[in-house]
Amino acid sequence: MIRTPVVAALALLALAACTEQTHSLVVADDACVGYGFHVGTPQYRLCSEHEAVAPGSGRNLAGLGPVR
């Protein structure tokens, strides 16, 4: 009788151990977030690469529309 709840509790603990939590740090004045891109998307990566080459060059991202 006690065996079933114990086995179920152990299975639940094993399942919980397999999960992970991911944290992302986004700078408040990140230009790409300001343009409407979401962190982790290909468009955000392209925007970040563009901004790394020409930081503060203004909002001249022709062809890189926001993710909808």
Q: Which residues contact 40 (CB under 8 A, 6 or more apart)?
A: 24
Q: For residues 35 and 61, is the Cβ–Cβ distance under 8 A? A: yes
Alpha carbon 41 to its chain's center: 8
Average pLDDT of 29-53? 87
pTM of the model: 0.42
Instruction: Please say if the pLDDT value at position 55 is more than 70.
Output: no
pLDDT band at 54 (very low <50, low <70, confident <90, very high): confident
Mean pLDDT score, 12-24:
75
| Boundaries of every domain in the chain | 23-68
